[in-house]
Amino acid sequence: MKNLTLLLLILATFSCAPSMESDADTVCNNMKDAVEAMKGIDETDADAKKAAQDVVKKLGEESEEISAKYKDNEEFAAYMKENCDLAK
């Protein structure tokens, strides 16, 4: 859950760029994928748990790279809130 919280906090700091919609869609999809992967973290199988943690980490890193492009831009955050159910 810490990783999902991190992803949500990253969204609050985004700003806009020419490819804003595409980047927002990527972040939104990353959030959805992270939620699904986090279900695997509860698995008792150590391999499944590790795989889920790796997926969440990768998605977080990708979202952090995108967030660096959109720091302090309210338009991106507004777009995310309007178009991504997990960002609401």
Summary count for the chain: helices (H), strands (E): 4, 0
Per-residue confidence at 61, pLDDT binned at 50, 70, 90? very high
- Within 13 A of 53's CA, how many CA atoms are on the CB side? 10
Give me the pLDDT at residue 82, please: 92
Q: How much is the pTM?
A: 0.67
CA dist list (Å): 51 to 34, 46, 70: 12, 9, 29
> Three-state SS for 20?
helix
pLDDT digits (tens, 9 = 90+) for 10-45: 655 444 445 888 999 999 998 898 888 887 677 677
